[in-house]
Amino acid sequence: MIYFDLTKTGNAAHRSGLMRVSARLAAGLGTEATPVSWPTWDRSVRPEDWLLTAELFSEEERPGWTEFVRSGRCRTAAIFHDAIPLKFPGITWPQSVARHPGYLKLLASFDRIWAVSAASRDELTGFWRWQGLGKVPPVELLPLGADFGGTPRVTTKVEPAVPPRLLCVGILEPRKNQRLLLDAGEELWAEGLAFELHLVGRINPHFGRPIVARIRELRKKHPDLHFHEAASDAEVARLYGLARASVFPTLAEGCGLPVLESLWQGVPCVCSDLPVLRENSDGGGCLPVKADDGQAWKDALRRVLTDDALQAGLATEARTRPLPTWAGAVQRLREGLR
């Protein structure tokens, strides 16, 4: 029996990457996994059973969780996303920063770990070495699916909208670096370049308000800037269908699902050249740009907006290159949880 931890993600209203991972894996496992929630789960388990979690946790949030994980009453497995709260504490929710060291240490008590990228795997194993933890579980890779929302992959050429549109998907917060994108867009509009910029994402309640204020200020001068705060998967897919390219100027990621999901829609992605994103962007359909380099981003956006041959070539790569699926991720979990 597989017990799938949905304590936080089971009833979540927003669509963060972590929520998507839990939801898609739970849907893929279907009746093979029993959803459970802490502390209401009765914990009637056998030694051969598995507890699988893709969530973040702490003893303070889940009294008794540490003892259960370490008890050996059943086998335990976890999906690890990233160590971003430790790398960027100044722009991360304080509770996440406080929770993360204990979370990373407790992961060493699990029987199996899957990391969502090679970069995140290296972060986790590096933390364990730094902590001097001798006995740790194996950490394997779990490529996440590009097929968000269950929509069929776009494999035929689609003519982008006119004027050209750029689409940025991600929570509004400093880590996603929308400010750089807004600054570059403002300069390109001032040069007379005609294009639309669409931002999609919920607002980080701790850090997002200044970015929203910047959007509102910029919209007064440039109505081609649009913000979609509560877009459904269907609406996001519609926006992808009209986009000339997606843009992802993030400063840190565990995987970077927006890159994969853009490629699934047949839309090229201009993205930061972070090693974690290069794991997927180097396969084609992407234009990597030096992270947080305003001039480099301005130049790259101008190229993808004006160079039809470049955009067409990247779009062809996006439509034809191999991409991971959620079905593949679920199958990998099945094989590991036997």
Q: Do 260 and 305 fall into the same domain? A: yes
Q: Do 38 and 133 fall into the same domain? A: yes
pTM of the full structure: 0.95
Q: Do 117 and 247 fall into the same domain? A: no
- Given a contact cutoff of 8 angstroms between Cβ atoms, the answer to whether 308 and 157 are in contact is no
Q: Do 136 and 220 fall into the same domain? A: no
Q: Do 25 and 48 fall into the same domain? A: yes
Digit-coded pLDDT (tens) for 161-196: 899 999 999 999 999 999 999 999 999 999 999 999
Q: Rounded to whole angstroms, how far apart are CA atoms 2 and 23?
A: 15
Q: Do 239 and 290 fall into the same domain? A: yes
Confidence of residue 93 (pLDDT cuts 50, 70, 90): confident
Q: What pLDDT was estimated at residue 150? A: 76
Digit-coded pLDDT (tens) for 246-283: 999 999 999 999 999 999 999 999 999 999 999 999 99
Q: Do 153 and 294 fall into the same domain? A: yes
Number of domains in the chain: 2
The CATH number given to whatever domain includes residue 33 is 3.40.50.2000
Q: Domain range holding 268?
A: 149-320
Q: Rounded to whole angstroms, how far apart are CA atoms 274 and 254?
A: 11
Q: What integer is the mean pLDDT of 200-206?
A: 94
Q: Do 268 and 316 fall into the same domain? A: yes
Q: Do 203 and 175 fall into the same domain? A: yes
- Given a contact cutoff of 8 angstroms between Cβ atoms, the answer to whether 314 and 286 are in contact is yes
Q: Do 163 and 60 fall into the same domain? A: no
Name 251's bridge partners.
none
Q: Do 111 and 193 fall into the same domain? A: no
Nearest residue to 315 via CA among 261, 283, 264, 267 = 267
Q: What integer is the mean pLDDT of 115-119?
A: 98
User: In a 10 Å sphere around its CB, with 0-12 CB exposed, 13-18 middle and 19+ buried, how is residue 185 labelled?
Assistant: buried
Q: Do 181 and 307 fall into the same domain? A: yes
- Given a contact cutoff of 8 angstroms between Cβ atoms, the answer to whether 269 and 286 are in contact is yes
